[in-house]
A and B are shown apart, each in its own frame.
Chain A
């Protein structure tokens, strides 16, 4: 117990040690976290009226970001899976960094959901035993279940690994390996359930198709590893931790093929909807071409398509994919493209037009932007601390009775 306490202290200390760059970065993030605090305060005080959401468009960018971040969280599996199933040596060394990313992403998800709720003070109503859990009927309760489970799995798995490394003890394989494999399957479940959350509503025809879960998974496994590649590159640049090029090659291949499948699914969806072009296509048509001058989403849609298709074509070429200078830019392209596609491109046209055929446009208010940016800042803040601590442990700088005081890197 004492050792664990020491571990926690050392880990946090390592997470918060750094040079001028580090503190500038944390200060930068703190500014947005303050904005988040203010935004949440105003929203809880005045109600959701401070957002630009309406009865017509009652789900907006909060949920869009939530859906996207669930994907990023699930995508930690793209590091874990090759490491443990295919025994990818290079990824195996840094697998815990993927788990840290998942932890930060799930926390962001929970913050987005809280921001989306009209009455966050009543969140206890959804907690089993003290509240009512509409299980197994409501998809949202399933989502709570899988998200919480995933958070716990990653916290336990990641920190168990780090703690053992910290105390320099061998891992208990019969505990750790099953945990990892449960987490792999569980990762798929979080994004699948998030897809079920919105595609089980025939009232919203654009969402009501069974391609949704697999499309969610593939886009997640393209966007997530893209972010992981960027994070790993930063780790490699700013810390002495060595990450071999093979790890990046593996991840960029995953991005490429998942992006390819995702584009194929996008194509299938568009053709299936547009060919007969029934009344149920209104949402997709609005997204792609606008409606009677309401075409706010149109440039976003085509930007997303251009980013995804362009990145895919470039990633297909091995010489470019393996070029460590170009790769991060492609990753940013994929990441932004999928964020638009899964955020605005999915959430908004799903509820536009309304079931009685009304078109209403929505753009987030200042308060919404503050909260969204703030949650991202919180996520990056947590991620920075977790990654720095984990890197310290991996390098051996943070160890029990060791050089913990010299953890500054």
Chain B
């Protein structure tokens, strides 16, 4: 409960809001929270009314400023009780003149998956045996190796004049086996290279187009967000996403109170409920405050860059100008703002 980053984040939120009001609720929340932890980790009767109000609130994007504030306060109250610590729910809108972009050096990535783990810790995904949700997938691609044994149907067309196969059955970088559950003893492995994938924050996101209730939409800073309280769980977005970036809360997410990150954003890492879709938001709770995303911060080889695409001095813009850059599945015209590059 008194981790170092908690203190740091607490100070930030106090400066943001009315100190006196906060101090009052803080003591009340921590008291009740402590009691809650001792007795029952689930929310008590007192929060029932809060939950009812949540059921009938509007789509976040269409709320007035007051309604947004009410929704945020409601959530702060409920989460604080539920997790037994002071939780802040931020509602910062997109900053003017910012369009977030991301660049990833696939030459540097060593496949350590620290980004994926840091992402889970930062963004309050479900963990545990029943359902684990990770927003970042690191694909392990095999280095191309040709051997004489693999010459299936060598010298086709063969006896019957039918073309049946090919010789190059193991080209470089086979993605077809989806090797993202690899457990290497040591990374980088000798015969592999790695390609992390996550939400590409498309400029023309297919997920936004197919959502029947507009619960997912693109904010002006280019981040595609989800109002978890409005999602009906139809999973159209999961079907439409060519990058397989969306995850679904099949059951009630399991998020231990002591591991919960209390600095949250309404559209980002606040605790989710069952039956809703979620995805990477470029750590909207951090980036809209001028911080790096968790994955950029943690990457041990500095393969990950985040920046403002509208700012010529940003890391990402420099990458775009000087490196060899490509985007995934450009044929689908989704215009990802997630760029891969090589030195």
Contact = CB atoms under 8 A, between A and B. Distances in A.
A49 B274 CA distance: 9
A138 interface: yes
Interface string B53-78: 00100010010000000000000000
A204 B233 contact: no
B236 to A, nearest CB: 6
Nearest to A360: B178
B300 interface: no
Interface in B203-255: 206, 209-215, 230-236, 238-244, 246-252
A51 B235 CA distance: 14
A58 B332 contact: no
What secondary structure prevails in chain A residues at the interface with B?
loop
B303 interface: no
A356 B240 contact: no
B308 interface: no
Nearest to B233: A118
Contacts of B332: 202-203
Of the candidates A49, A120, A351, the one having the most CB atoms from chain B within 10 angstroms of its own CB is: A49
Interface stretch (A5-13, A129-137, A330-338): A129-137
Interface in A79-127: 116-123, 125-126
B330 interface: no
Contacts of A59: 235, 239
A266 interface: no
Of the listed residues A59, A123, A140, A356, the one surrounded by the most CB atoms of chain B closer than 10 A to its CB is A356
A299 interface: no
B343 interface: no
Given A134-B214, A138-B210, A355 B275 contact: no
B126 to A, nearest CB: 10
Contacts of B211: 134, 138
Interface in A325-351: 351
A253 interface: no
A141 interface: yes
Nearest to B175: A357
B4 interface: no
Contacts of A120: 232
B213 A119 contact: no
Contact of B275 (A119, A202, A204, A354): A119
B177 interface: yes
B55 A203 contact: no
B260 interface: no
Contacts, number: 141
Nearest to B209: A137
A204 B276 CA distance: 21
A282 B210 contact: no
B137 A356 contact: yes
B131 interface: yes
B213 A358 contact: no
Contacts of A141: 212
A117 B232 contact: yes
For the side of the interface on A, what is the size category? 35 or more
A282 B177 CA distance: 11
A310 B220 CA distance: 57
Contacts of A140: 210, 212, 234, 236
A118 B232 contact: yes
Nearest to A43: B275
Contact of B248 (A118, A125, A201): A118
A53 B178 contact: no
Given A48-B248, A49-B130, A282-B176, A118 B274 contact: yes
B110 interface: no
Interface string A27-60: 0000000000000000000111101011100110
B239 A116 contact: no
A358 B274 CA distance: 25
B117 interface: no
Nearest to A121: B55
A250 interface: no
A48 B332 CA distance: 30
A144 B232 CA distance: 14
Given A122-B232, A132-B213, A132-B214, A356 B244 contact: yes
B296 to A, nearest CB: 22
A203 B242 contact: yes
B295 interface: no
A17 B229 CA distance: 46
A359 interface: yes
B175 A351 contact: no
Contacts of B252: 46-47
Contacts of A203: 206, 239-242, 332
B233 A201 contact: no
A58 B212 contact: no
B139 interface: yes
Nearest to B247: A55
Interface string B313-324: 000000000000
Interface of B: 55, 59, 62, 130-131, 137, 139, 175-178, 180, 197, 206, 209-215, 230-236, 238-244, 246-252, 274-276, 332
21 contacts: A47-B249, A47-B274, A53-B250, A55-B238, A55-B247, A55-B248, A116-B235, A118-B232, A119-B231, A119-B232, A123-B232, A125-B215, A134-B212, A137-B209, A140-B234, A141-B212, A201-B206, A201-B240, A203-B241, A203-B332, A356-B244
Closest 8 CB pairs of A and B: A118-B233, A358-B178, A118-B275, A49-B251, A47-B274, A203-B242, A140-B212, A49-B250
Given A133-B213, A139-B236, 19 more contacts: A47-B249, A47-B251, A47-B275, A49-B130, A49-B131, A53-B250, A55-B244, A117-B234, A118-B249, A119-B231, A132-B59, A134-B213, A138-B212, A201-B206, A282-B176, A351-B239, A356-B139, A357-B178, A359-B178
